Amino acid sequence: MKPQTKYARSGDVHIAYQVVGDGPVDFIHVPGWISHLDHYWENPRIAAFYRRLASFTRLILFDKRGTGLSDRGGPTPTLEQRMDDVRAVMDAVGSEKAVIWGVSEGAAMSILFAATYPERTTALVIYGGSARFAWAPDYPWGRTAEELESRLAALHTTWGTGAGAVRMNPSLARDEAYREWAAQNERTAASPGAVAALLRMNSAIDARHVLAAVRVPTLVLHRRDDPTVNIEHGRYAARHIPGAKYVELDGADHGWAVNSEQIIGEIEEFLTGARRPSEIDRVLATVLFTDIVGATTKAVELGDRQWRETLDAHHAVVREELRRFRGREIDTAGDGFLAAFDGPARAIHAATSIRERVKELDVSVRAGLHTGECEVIGPKLAGIAIHIGARVASLAAPGEVLVSSTVKDLVAGSGLRFSDRGVHELKGVPGTWHLYSVDMDG
């Protein structure tokens, strides 16, 4: 459940903020380029990351002025104004002192805040950030003027498509759900003009001379192959902040909520002196997708009230069969279900049983199954296996239970019988896939 959004007054500007958890230390997330408080919670990776942070902190989130749910418009804010906004949020939530977590573009302001207000800063944490983004003779890994102009030009055609977010997080390049979320996040968080102004402002900032003035405990985290902010930015900041702890992380993603357990572990250990054992974040599962065939046509035929009754009865049948065959409901959208099983045979039996039982409701379902390694994100599952399962289901005919060859091979000896449905290309999934239909009497 999303936390309540409230507003702090910073001069004449309203800054949107949220508070999660009640841990012993206040922890303020200073976002990077753009953010949107409510839409962030729609991303299961971010939601899981926030819940994990809130398990040992009081997590304070906010949208920078000009972005997200905070007031839009007006001139591009200065670092001084943005520091005022952080203090306004702290005052609004009754926080006298907090850990300042500066991410990417938010790092420079966080560095300045920690040096200017040490009495209000418990510690400083920087992830994927920099004190300066632009190239200089003594800073050769910075972005050149030509690179900046090229990026600004691309904004006009790519903003709102999620393409930039995918480039920053190559491990999610084939994750269509992430791309759709990222595209919507861009559109809801800021306009292309506002983003362009932020880019120009960031390129003019140079907080390197402030680094030596930071006197609070500092943790600098940076991914070794970060495609957006070169690793040398993190190394430079760590070398010049007195006593800073520096940790290079494996990976080639810029996003802090991607493969994030190591990031959270380092933060938890830095703040508490210990970290919990790593949570299991990947598991082998058989995923089952089902949906009602011709749902829209059926809804029009029955009318709203009768369709709602039919849909409720359908959901009850599906959930009863999931319990019967030890399946776990992962998600429900309209007339469709996503479920996971720890055994492929049970998943097939659940699918065929659902198919037969819903005939009593005068509806037909299609189902698709695939077995593969899934990423565990709180109560949800993600990853390429989910997308394969969805694509398999989309190719199933009315009343058909269609499975990948992986599923078929794993149930050898179970007595289940299949019909060959040939080799197919699955949209957004590399390679070709051999699919099989579960025989009606199987």
Please give the helix or strand (H or E) that residue 150 lies within, else none: helix 145-158
In sequence order, what are the residues at sequence separation of 6 or more whose Cβ sits closer than 8 angstroms to the Cβ of residue 297? Answer: none
CA distance linking residue 204 with residue 410, whole number of Å: 58
Q: Which two tokens stand for residue 82?
A: 């943005």
The predicted pLDDT at position 416 comes to: 92
Q: Is the Cβ–Cβ distance between 150 and 159 less than 8 Å?
A: no
CATH assignment of 282-438?
3.30.70.1230
CA distance linking residue 220 with residue 241, whole number of Å: 9
Give residue limits of the domains in the chain. 6-272, 282-438
In sequence order, what are the residues at sequence separation of 6 or more whose Cβ sits closer than 8 angstroms to the Cβ of residue 167? Answer: 227, 228
The predicted pLDDT at position 279 comes to: 60
Fold type of domain 6-272: Rossmann fold (3.40.50)
Q: Which of 199, 195, 177 is nearest to 333 (CA)?
A: 177
Low-confidence stretches of the chain (pLDDT < 70) are 1, 277-280, 441-442
The predicted pLDDT at position 442 comes to: 45
**What does the buried/exposed string (b/e) look like for 97-111 if buried means 16 or more CB atoms within 10 Å of the residue's CB?**
ebbbbbbbbbbbbbb
How many degrees, rounded to 5, is the angle at CA 258 between CA 85 and CA 106?
20
**Which whole-number Å values give the CA distances from 96 to 122, 124, 194, in the listed order?**
10, 15, 32
The predicted pLDDT at position 414 comes to: 83
Alpha helices per DSSP H over 325-410:
344-357, 384-395, 405-410
C-beta atoms surrounding 139 within 10 Å? 17
Q: Which residue is it, tokens 């002025």?
A: 65
Alpha helices per DSSP H over 191-303:
192-204, 231-240, 261-272, 295-302
Provide the 3-class DSSP secondary structure of residue 394. helix
Q: Which two tokens stand for residue 214?
A: 């930071």
Phi-psi category of 365—alpha, beta or left, where left has phi over 0 and alpha has psi -120 to 50?
Answer: beta
The predicted pLDDT at position 173 comes to: 84
Provide the 3-class DSSP secondary structure of residue 433. strand
The predicted pLDDT at position 375 comes to: 84
Half-sphere exposure of 322 (CA within 13 A, CB side): 22
